[in-house]
A and B are shown apart, each in its own frame.
Chain A
Amino acid sequence: MYTKINIILAGVGGQGILTIAAILDTAALDNNLNIKQSEVHGMSQRGGAVQSHVRISDQPIYSDLIPQGKADIIISVEPMELLRYLPFLKKDGYLITDSNPFENIKNYPELETLYNEIKSHKNHILIDAMKIAKDLGNSKATNIVLLGAASSLIPLSDESFQKAIATLFERKGERIVAKNLEAFLKGKEIAAELVS
């Protein structure tokens, strides 16, 4: 059986999706897997919609972009941004998102409408990751909570995720590393409760 996963990360410029990407990259590299990870730089980074395609496999990976209908998971730090990439989601693929809107446009949709659209997909994890992060005393770790929530769907071990988190936050000090590890595990735990 091949190891192969396609993940789309979504959000608004500045919300930290590249940190999620960097953790995935580091963990995959540590496992000697192949990686392709595209990201957005430039104009859209200024408060616009941004996405990253992360592809991990033990086989050669050709395209930097995931074809439509081939994403196993979409992880979003914002509920409307999650839905922007629906055409990429595999049948029975997973939607994972924070429930808190980032309202920097006119006529931002009704939250209920957004949530209903998300809930119409069988496989979804819709959580208040921001609150979970805040309760743990680190509101900046919303993205890490979401990664934790997605982690059991990704063929990388918990150890390699945790090692990657420790590596990436190392220069910010032990306390920040510990807070992020806590956020990761909490996200994982909550997702397990929701899915079971």
Chain B
Amino acid sequence: MKKLLLGNEALAQGAIDAGLSGVYAYPGTPSTEITEYIQKSKIAQELNIHASWSVNEKTAMEAALGMSYAGKKSMVVMKHVGLNVAADVFMNMSVSGINGGLVVVVADDPSMHSSQNEQDSRYYGKFAMIPILEPSNQQECYDITKYAFELSENLGLPVLIRLVTRLSHSRAGVVTGQRIAQNTVNLPKIETQFQLIPIHARDRYKHLVDIQPDMLEISENSDFNKFHEGTNKTIGIIASGIAYNYLMENFEDGNCPYPVLKISQYPLPKEPIKELFDTCEKILVLEDGYPFIEEAISDFLGENRKVIGRLSGDIPRVGELNPDNIANALGFDIVINDNLPKVVLGRPPQLCVGCGHNDLFNAINVLKNESATQQVFGDIGCSALGVLSPYESINTLIEMGSSITMAIGASNAGIHPAIAVIGDSTFTHSGMTGLLDAIIEKTSITVIISDNSAIAMTGAQDSAASGRLISICKGLGIEEDHLKVITPLHKNLQENIDIIRDEINYKGVSVVIAQRPCVQLPKEKKDKLKEYTNVSIN
């Protein structure tokens, strides 16, 4: 039966049907719905597939590797910047290789709809020297995921699936197939495989290098890479992943007169690219994200510019592809119209009505008026909206956890007050270790954990911090006199300002937990949270 599924959901169903035993993930747009689909799937529950959230992408990937070590099939899912967090295990598990099939799913966000950069995960796949799969539509999301597990077990390597926002968050009819059984526990046959001390790591790395030609051969014969003959050889086109759809949209019934190589599997297949070079006057590369293929096949000095794309300026260097910028590159007579009537104003995202972050920022802004030198280091999540009007409370926003550690460095440099504002889930994801740094050195910073007990921006998923913040901070060694809990409500504004001001004036580390449940949480969850909120610190 045909089901209408998001690209993310099709991928998740493909994983279930491939015999998955566990998915590990931290929420992040545009990847979140993959794990949520498995969490909600009745069949996944019956099959006892592990699907609860991990504390961050690194812990998630390591757990997935552990499941693979035990012989079962596992998947780890994240947004593109999450792979930076998990990069350590990612780079090393390609050296060790895997046991049960292991698939890494990374959803990139070209145009930065909900992200701070548009990094292209294909570079990571190449860096780790593992196969990359890049589905072009929802059906391929399903099919490629089933194939990915098979490929992973055949090669003994993790396999990377790269998605982009528009595929993750677009629905189409998908035909699903038979479900393959889960693996049973089966430890690795080679005892030294997962023991990456130098003597074994050298062997494993040599093995990884040695099987690169096999990977290329598989890719050259892959059904997911398709060569379409064309009669007009003035341009040969390479279109990867979703770019293929945008290309075909430009031709009635998808009848493209140019030769087209559709790429959905890497390493890049050499044979068909050579054929394009030999027979076509120019080669247009269409890829969402960075000019990954274009750079690989262009001539280094740019003197013989046969390859065109983002680097040559035929496609805009930044932002996502669409049917229009591709039509433009094909030389079609279209005018891309970005002009809107003057009456249309921007409408940026903002905090929900009744959000506790709002009352926290109001307090911080009063303190800003008291001290011209105050700097506020922000962090990822809903609290990041404090950068925007009407608050403009936050001076920096870089990546998960950087609020606390940047405040440390700024404080060392002489900035006072140095305030970090971090959400509860971001704190457990990447903030705790930075706080330990500050506590060890008694750095003069004020850390405000804006605790809404949810991973709010991605849809109010359960936060690992819920009910644990006080004990975590105490365990890290925060002085009890400088651990405060406040409730960010308008009626408490003056009291909250006074508490934060006192902590700013303390020449050491303070933590203020601003506790108020996310308005997006369902009532039963809010009620449950009452059990631990407003608990006295002692």
- Contacting pair A29 B2 (CB below 8 A): yes
Q: Is B457 an interface residue (CB 8 A)?
A: yes
Complex CA distance for A113 and B338, rounded to whole angstroms? 20
Which residues of chain B come closer than 8 Å to A114, judged between CB atoms? 343
Which residues of chain A come closer than 8 Å to B172, judged between CB atoms? 34-37, 61, 64
Complex CA distance for A41 and B36, rounded to whole angstroms? 13
- Contacting pair A67 B457 (CB below 8 A): no
Kindly provide the distance from the CB of A184 to the nearest chain B CB, expressed in whole angstroms: 21
Count, chain A residues at interface, CB 8 A: 47
Complex CA distance for A38 and B245, rounded to whole angstroms? 14
- Contacting pair B170 A62 (CB below 8 A): no
- Contacting pair B352 A36 (CB below 8 A): no
* Closest partner residue, chain A, to B320 (CB atom): A65
* Closest partner residue, chain A, to B3 (CB atom): A29
Among the listed stretches A80-88, A142-150, A168-176, which one makes contact with chain B, having 4 or more residues with CB under 8 Å of it? A80-88
Q: Which of A23-52 contact B (CB under 8 A)?
A: 25-26, 29, 34-49
- Contacting pair B337 A113 (CB below 8 A): no
Which residues of chain B come closer than 8 Å to A25, judged between CB atoms? 4, 171
Q: Is B339 an interface residue (CB 8 A)?
A: yes
Among the listed stretches B66-74, B90-98, B248-256, B420-428, which one makes contact with chain A, having 4 or more residues with CB under 8 Å of it? B248-256
Q: Is A13 an interface residue (CB 8 A)?
A: yes
- Contacting pair A68 B337 (CB below 8 A): yes
Kindly provide the distance from the CB of B424 to the nearest chain A CB, expressed in whole angstroms: 17
Q: Is A63 an interface residue (CB 8 A)?
A: yes
Which residues of chain B come closer than 8 Å to A109, judged between CB atoms? 343-345
Q: Flag B333-346 by CB within 8 Å of A: 1 or 0 each.
A: 01011111101111
Interface centre among B6, B32, B324, B459 (most CB of A within 10 A): B324
Knowing A43-B29, A67-B327 are in contact, say whether A107-B245 is a contact too (CB < 8 A): no
- Contacting pair B29 A80 (CB below 8 A): no
Knowing A35-B4, A42-B458 are in contact, say whether A80-B254 is a contact too (CB < 8 A): no
Count, chain B residues at interface, CB 8 A: 53
Complex CA distance for A60 and B324, rounded to whole angstroms? 19
Q: Which of A78-121 contact B (CB under 8 A)?
A: 80-81, 83-84, 86-87, 104-109, 113-114, 117
Complex CA distance for A41 and B107, rounded to whole angstroms? 13
Kindly provide the distance from the CB of A54 to the nearest chain B CB, expressed in whole angstroms: 9
Q: Which of B336-388 contact A (CB under 8 A)?
A: 336-341, 343-352, 382, 385
- Contacting pair A60 B113 (CB below 8 A): no
- Contacting pair B113 A39 (CB below 8 A): no
Q: Is A59 an interface residue (CB 8 A)?
A: yes
Q: Of A60, A68, A80, A87, which is within 8 A of B343 by CB?
A: A80
- Contacting pair A62 B248 (CB below 8 A): yes
Kindly provide the distance from the CB of B37 to the nearest chain A CB, expressed in whole angstroms: 13
Which residues of chain B come closer than 8 Å to A46, judged between CB atoms? 349-352, 382, 385, 457
Which residues of chain A come closer than 8 Å to B382, judged between CB atoms? 46
Q: Of B170, B254, B347, which is within 8 A of A104 by CB?
A: B347
Q: Is A130 an interface residue (CB 8 A)?
A: no
Kindly provide the distance from the CB of A97 to the nearest chain B CB, expressed in whole angstroms: 13
Which residues of chain B come closer than 8 Å to A108, judged between CB atoms? 345
- Contacting pair A12 B347 (CB below 8 A): yes
Q: Is B167 an interface residue (CB 8 A)?
A: yes
Kindly provide the distance from the CB of B502 to the nearest chain A CB, expressed in whole angstroms: 32
Q: Of A34, A40, A48, A67, which is within 8 A of B348 by CB?
A: A48
- Contacting pair A36 B170 (CB below 8 A): yes
Kindly provide the distance from the CB of A41 to the nearest chain B CB, expressed in whole angstroms: 5
Q: Is B517 an interface residue (CB 8 A)?
A: no
Which residues of chain B come closer than 8 Å to A47, judged between CB atoms? 347, 349-352
Which residues of chain A come closer than 8 Å to B6, judged between CB atoms? 39
- Contacting pair B113 A62 (CB below 8 A): no
Knowing A60-B254, A65-B246, A83-B344 are in contact, say whether A44-B113 is a contact too (CB < 8 A): yes
Q: Of B336, B340, B457, which is within 8 A of A68 by CB?
A: B336
* Closest partner residue, chain B, to A70 (CB atom): B323
Q: Of A40, A61, A105, which is within 8 A of B169 by CB?
A: A40
- Contacting pair B173 A34 (CB below 8 A): yes
Which residues of chain A come closer than 8 Å to B29, judged between CB atoms? 41-43
Which residues of chain B come closer than 8 Å to A35, judged between CB atoms? 4, 171-173
Complex CA distance for A46 and B382, rounded to whole angstroms? 9
* Closest partner residue, chain B, to A109 (CB atom): B343
- Contacting pair B171 A42 (CB below 8 A): no
- Contacting pair B114 A64 (CB below 8 A): no
Knowing A34-B172, A42-B457, A43-B29 are in contact, say whether A113-B343 is a contact too (CB < 8 A): yes
* Closest partner residue, chain B, to A116 (CB atom): B343
Q: Top 6 closest A-B pairs, CB basis?
A: A42-B29, A42-B114, A48-B349, A63-B249, A64-B170, A38-B170
What would 28 A/B residue contacts be, using CB atoms closer than 8 Å?
A12-B347, A34-B172, A35-B4, A38-B171, A40-B113, A41-B30, A41-B33, A42-B29, A43-B457, A48-B347, A49-B347, A60-B253, A62-B245, A62-B246, A63-B322, A63-B323, A64-B167, A67-B249, A67-B250, A67-B327, A68-B324, A80-B345, A80-B347, A86-B340, A87-B337, A87-B339, A105-B346, A106-B390
Binding site for A on B (CB under 8 A): 2, 4, 6, 29-30, 32-33, 113-114, 166-167, 169-173, 242, 245-250, 253-254, 322-324, 327, 334, 336-341, 343-352, 382, 385, 389-390, 457-459
Binding site for B on A (CB under 8 A): 12-13, 25-26, 29, 34-49, 53, 59-65, 67-69, 80-81, 83-84, 86-87, 104-109, 113-114, 117
